[in-house]
Amino acid sequence: AKAPLDKPDAFGWLPIHHAALASSEIFELFVKKRADTQAKTPRGGTCEDLRHLAGLEELSVSLSNLRVETDDK
């Protein structure tokens, strides 16, 4: 079953926020499905902020690359 990408959980986080903290493969899948990576958590954090705080900032570079790839399609 498909779950909506824009439906927040009980804490106000979207699936993309959880994916940002999961493996890079899962996060890239969400980005390719055009989940809103600029959506903010209730405390105002974006996916890039979450990844940075979790020490995953090197994957923020791939986020920029994925945005370019998906925009071309």
- pLDDT tens digits, 7-36: 999 999 999 999 999 888 888 888 888 889
| CA neighbor of 56 nearest in space, from 14, 29, 19, 5 | 19
Residue 39 pLDDT > 90: yes
Cα distance between the two ends of the chain: 25
User: Average pLDDT, stretch 58-70?
Assistant: 56
User: Which whole-number Å values give the CA distances from 50 to 2, 14, 15, 62, in the listed order?
Assistant: 24, 12, 13, 15
Residue 54 pLDDT > 80: yes
CA pair distance 11, 22, nearest whole angstrom? 17
